[in-house]
Amino acid sequence: MDWMHPATDTDYAHLSGRIRAMEARMPGLAALERLADAPSPAAVCRLLAETDYRQVSEAEEPAGVVEAVLLGVYREVRSLSPHPAPVDLVALGRWLGAEAARARQGELAGQPGNPHELDEQLHHERFGRMRRAAAEIGTEFFEELVGRWGDLVNFEAMARAKLLGQAGQSLARRLVPGQQEPELFLRAAGEPWEQLPRLFAGTPLERGSARVAEEAGREGAMPTLGKAMDDALIAFVRGARRLAMG
């Protein structure tokens, strides 16, 4: 059964019920605000127990409980998807992001500076981990995935610099190895937004660059940039035959 296109009303009702059940397991805005203000881990556990995190107790580590619930939701979504590889990619990216954050949290905690720059440091840490893993796996698919991921890291660094008015500041040292030459991103940093689709024509970044160029200067340009990058990776994975998660 295709979860995007239910064949019958019964299928639709079944899928709708499962999706609503997944949504119910996530804390709402009010609960998240209370969690953010909780004075201690024990208070966090008590607040989680008031939501649908029923298995939580004061003796448990809150982060571990949340991780277990998210893993359950991931498995549920994967079971509904006719194309599980993009779901695996999202899970892989989330895991790499968490590992990168753990590796850098000592350095970044309380560090002053632009939050976008701190976010970029985590992107680089995550990319480095992915690159090392791909080298160990040694498959053509993962090598190409990392190459494309590197291009996205570089495109995002270039676009962030332009959006924040920092296009001329040390972009070259922030670029990582990818499929496209670094000079392409350095050249794009100095061009008007509307020229980006032309510069990236014929590359996997063409569509994303057009979307970002359309939104530049508007509220929400940063989220558009992130979504365009995610969509580009997911499109690549969907075009591949299989993503083996081991």
6 has a pLDDT exceeding 70 = no
Query: Are residues 112 and 195 both part of a single domain?
Result: yes
Q: How many domains does the chain have?
A: 2
Query: Are residues 23 and 118 both part of a single domain?
Result: no
- Kindly report, residue by residue over 234-245, the tens digit of the pLDDT: 777 666 544 444
Q: How far apart are CA 158 and CA 161, in angstroms?
A: 5
Q: How far apart are CA 189 and CA 193, in angstroms?
A: 9
Task: Choose between 35 and 88: higher pLDDT.
Answer: 35
Please state which of the ranges 59-68, 142-151, 219-228, 230-239 shows the lowest mean pLDDT. 59-68
The confidence band for 231, taking pLDDT boundaries of 50, 70 and 90, is confident
SS (H, E, C) 168-219: CCCCHHHCCCCCCCHHHHHHHHCCCHHHHHHHCCCCCCHHHHHHHHHHCCCC
Query: Are residues 21 and 74 both part of a single domain?
Result: yes
For residues 23-49, average pLDDT = 68
Average pLDDT, the chain: 69
- Tell me the residue range of the domain where 16 lies: 1-82
- Kindly report, residue by residue over 115-139, the tens digit of the pLDDT: 556 666 766 777 777 788 778 777 7
Final residue of a structural domain among 82, 111, 143: 82
Query: Are residues 23 and 108 both part of a single domain?
Result: no
Please state which of the ranges 24-28, 52-56, 189-193, 204-208 shows the lowest mean pLDDT. 52-56
Query: Are residues 93 and 157 both part of a single domain?
Result: yes
CA-CA distances (angstroms) from residue 201 to 16, 80, 145, 152?
Answer: 40, 35, 19, 15
The Cα diameter of the chain in Å comes to 57
164 has a pLDDT exceeding 90 = no
